[in-house]
Amino acid sequence: MAVALAAVLAAAGAAAAANFPTGTHLVKGTLKDWQNKVLAASAEVTVQAVDTNGTVIASTTVTDPMADGYNFLLQIPLSSTATSSTAAVGDRLNCVVVQRSGVSLAVDPLDVGEANTVSTVRLAFVDMKSYTSTNGTDQTVDVPAEYVDTIAPWMEAYGIQGDYDPFADYDGDGASNYFEYRAGTNPFDATDKLAITAYDAPEDASHPLRFEYVGGHVYGVATTFSLVNPQWTTQPVKESETDAEHEQVMPSADEDDVGLATIYVVPAEGATSQFFRLEAK
């Protein structure tokens, strides 16, 4: 079966490459949204291959899916040595997806293959929507369509009308709807929220911080030295006292998993006071 599959892919690649100038490598791909649906031309999305200097080497728009499910063809010009407008065989290019709103998202990188050949990729895409607050702050945030698909049935179940406002706090627990979405908590249940459940501050060791996690979500800690006009910055954390420091942690990748996790923070040396805030990333 593996040999037959390889033969089919090679034949498809040869046919596709014949439609493009020689001296190029063709990336044939499928771009999907959060719901695992293949995007169509109506999504108005552009796929770009970008070198390490930020130069766009190749660009194409997403089309309606072909019979085989692919919805974009990216033609990468080649030369023996990479230039400002070409790539070299073996290069790894950044892949950037640009929405109609202008929001750009980096996705899985693209490996450049031999000239006159075709490689295939399948990419996941966060379909973002832009919301502006209505509370007078004019704050704008881009949220994935998955947020809307998550909160919509909850709003219907709780009989709440209106927009899926990420800045609103429907359960009044002090955490916005969008923050609760990122944390995996219920934005309509004030008892269900991300919070520190235990904290210890030994003098000569890392400080353990305990919280209830939801699988598939990423967490981190912010810190400030004063609660008067606080300046919150990222606090490195460790998953154990002997672990290396990280900016964020995912206690479990299983979305159905919930439980208690402990992470460790290292307080600033010589600080007279320091405050920590648990965050969902």
* Mean pLDDT across 253-265: 88
- pLDDT score recorded for residue 9: 28
Q: pLDDT grade, residue 254 (50/70/90)?
A: confident
Q: What percent of the chain clears pLDDT 90, i.e. is strictly above it? A: 27
Alpha carbon 135 to chain centroid, angstroms? 27
Phi, psi angles (nearest 5°) of residue 80: -60, -30
Q: Calculate mean pLDDT across residues 126-132.
A: 68
- Alpha carbons 149 and 280: distance in angstroms, whole number: 19
Checking if the pLDDT of 11 tops 50, the result is no
Q: Which residue has the higher pLDDT, 1 or 184?
A: 184
Q: What SS3 string covers the chain?
A: CHHHHHHHHHHHHHHHHCCCCCCEEEEEEEEECCCCCECCHHHCCEEEEECCCCCEEEEEECCCCCCCCCCEEEEEEECCCCCCCCECCCCEEEEEEECCCCCEEEEEEEECCCCCCEEEEEEECCCEEEEECCCCCCCEEEEEHHHHHHHHHHHHHHCCCCCCCCCCCCCCCCCCHHHHHHHCCCCCCCCCCCCEEEECCCCCCCEEEEEEEECCCCEEEEEECCCCCCCCEEECEECCCCCCCECCECCCCCCCCEEEEEEEECCCCCCCCCEEEEEEC
CA gap 71, 74 in Å, rounded? 10
Distance CA 133, CA 166 (A): 8
Amino acid at the residue 221 = V
The mean pLDDT value for 20-45 works out to 79
**Range with the poorest average pLDDT among 68-77, 173-182, 266-275:** 266-275
47 has pLDDT over 90: yes
Q: What is the pLDDT of residues 137-177, one digit of tens each?
A: 667 777 777 787 788 888 888 888 767 788 888 889 988 88
> To the nearest whole number, what is the mean pLDDT of the chain?
81
Q: Give the pLDDT score at 13.
A: 37
pLDDT at 32: 81
Q: Whose structure tokens read 């359960």?
A: 171
Distance, in Å, from the CA atom of 216 to the CA atom of 181, rounded to the nearest integer, reads 12
- Per-residue model confidence as pLDDT tens digits over 200-233: 888 778 889 999 998 888 898 999 999 998 899 9
State the pairing for strand pair 219-224/118-124.
unpaired
Whether the predicted pLDDT of 135 surpasses 70: no
65 in Cβ contact with 40 (< 8 Å): yes
Q: What confidence tier does 58 reach under pLDDT thresholds 50, 70, 90?
A: very high
- Neighbouring C-alpha atoms within 13 Å toward the C-beta of 21: 6
pTM: 0.54
* Closest listed residue to residue 223, CA positions, set 263, 185, 259, 166: 263
Give the pLDDT of residue 10: 29
The amino acid at 269: E
Could you give the CA distance from residue 168 to residue 181 in angstroms, rounded to a whole number? 12
Q: What is the pLDDT of residues 72-121, one digit of tens each?
A: 999 999 998 888 899 999 999 999 888 877 777 778 889 999 999 999 98
